[in-house]
Every structure is written in structure tokens, then in C-alpha cells.
Amino acid sequence: MDRTTCEPRPVSTCYSHGMNLVQKLRQLVTDIRAGEKPLQVQKDWELVGRLLGRFPEVDQEAAAAAVGDQNVDALDGIVFRLENPAAEPPPPPPEDVDPEEMRAAMKAYRKRLKLMRLNDESKLTRRLSSGRASDIDAIMPPGEYGRAVWDALVRAGELVYEGEGFYALPREKGKLPD
């Protein structure tokens, strides 16, 4: 069954459940600019107001002003900033991390990565005889170790930070022992 939700609107405005909120906001900006149906445009503005409230990184006063004034250019600027976030702030100064804790964290990371890969390779949706290797190369690390430990492992060259909380083994260390 197709998981597409369509309102009584042109086909181009249907969206799949896989669409993220930023993509939906971009689509709403496009629909509002087209402005074919005034009643639908009003509903789009209401939806934009609700969606922008879900983003903690958005200046809510500026968003409320853009929606209240129905200023498409201001809305477009807000959505552009969501699509193109500024670089992450510089990390805090490194903390001293016990080498034994780093070793235990790497062991836990490798174990979690290995289990996730095995789980991915054994999905029932795949043919059992396919033998295809997992595509997982980065994971969120185990939560029992703090961010300082993972940052120390990145500085030591044991892990690579991939963004949004995901870490990967460096490419030359990407193979896991069996």
C-alpha cells in the first residue's frame, strides 16, 4: 500500500510520510507563493505556524511575526536557515578521560556496531541466501559513556564524528574482527 497522504490539492502537493518537516516547510512556501486557492493558502499558513513551533532552533518570535504578517519572504528565510544550518559551535575544551574508560568505551562501541550490522544483515525482508554485507558504518554510541569519552576517542583517532550524534570507525579501521 502506498503511504502517501493527499489532500484535495494538486498531485504535486501530496507528501509521503518519509518527508521530513523541513522539506514539508519548503513545499508549503512554494504552495503559498503559488497562491492558487486563498482558502488553502490560509490553511497552509496555519500549518506553517504549527510546524515552526516544533523547531527549537527557530526564533519563535520571528516565526510568529512571519506567520502573523503572512510574510512569505521572511518565511523563506527561516526555512532556508533550517535547510542550511550554520556550522556547529566549537567543542568545549577537552576533558581528561581515563585511558581504561576509553578502552572500555571502544569495546562497547565495537560490540554495538557488530550487533547492529548482524541485525541488519539478517533482516527477514532480505533473501536469506543473499549474503549481502550491511550498509551500516556509523552508529550512535552506547549511552553509558559520556560525550567527553567519545570526543576523546575522536581526538585519539579511534573514531570519526559523522554528525548528529553518529560516530564511525576510521576508514582503515572499518573492518570488524570476527
**Residue 42: pLDDT above 70?**
yes
Taking residues 49-78, report their average pLDDT: 89
Strand pairing category for 15-16 and 166-168? unpaired
Q: Which band of pLDDT confidence, cut at 50, 70 and 90, is reported for residue 3?
A: very low
Amino acid present at 95: E
For residue 87, give the DSSP letter.
P
In angstroms, what CA-CA distances link 19 with 13, 73, 81, 164? 12, 23, 18, 18
**Residue 34: pLDDT above 50?**
yes
CB atoms under 10 Å from CB of 166, counted, come to 13
**Residue 18: pLDDT above 50?**
no
**pLDDT number for residue 177:** 46
CB atoms under 10 Å from CB of 6, counted, come to 11
Q: Which band of pLDDT confidence, cut at 50, 70 and 90, is reported for residue 107?
A: very high
Share of the chain above pLDDT 70, in %: 74
3-state secondary structure of 166: strand
CB atoms under 10 Å from CB of 77, counted, come to 13
Spatial separation of the C-alpha atoms in residues 102 and 84, rounded to whole Å: 34
